[in-house]
Amino acid sequence: MEFGPMWVEWGLLGLFLASFLAATILPFSSEAVLATMMLGPWSSWALWSAASAGNWLGGMSSYFLGHLGDLDRIARWLRLDPAKAQRFQAKVDRFGIWTALLTWLPVVGDPLAVALGLAKARIWPVAVLMLIGKALRYAVVVLLLR
């Protein structure tokens, strides 16, 4: 069985899991799974909901990992240059919780979620803004493909 069809075979749970994993440090495209599943019997609403919820919870798990850790330890674990990690953290501190709206972005979104946790940003504003950003991204994908 190929990697892509496995997610589709699992239905909305597969899309949820794919979207969750895509919001972690794993390089993975949940949009490809969503696009494939749009060819199936599921409603746009169900697909949007499963993808948004999975990606949001994955992003929040990255936030909580950051909240539990410290910048130096996480930088070593991710093999990041400590000075670069400090500059990244300073930018997150400067723009505050509003950076949660950008956690949907490829490459920088996952580190942003971790950085928000490291900065001990307030959970509820981060959660709401992260959900808005991620849900809007999937809404655009669904609208473009329908």
Over residues 66-124, the pLDDT tens digits come to 888 877 777 777 677 777 777 777 777 788 889 999 999 988 898 889 889 988 889 99
Are 112 and 99 spatial neighbours (Cβ–Cβ below 8 Å)? yes
Rounded (5°) CA angle 134-136-142: 105
Residues 9-51: pLDDT tens digits? 899 999 999 999 999 867 778 999 999 999 999 999 999 999 9
**DSSP code for 144:** H
- Reported as a pLDDT band with limits 50, 70 and 90, residue 4 is low
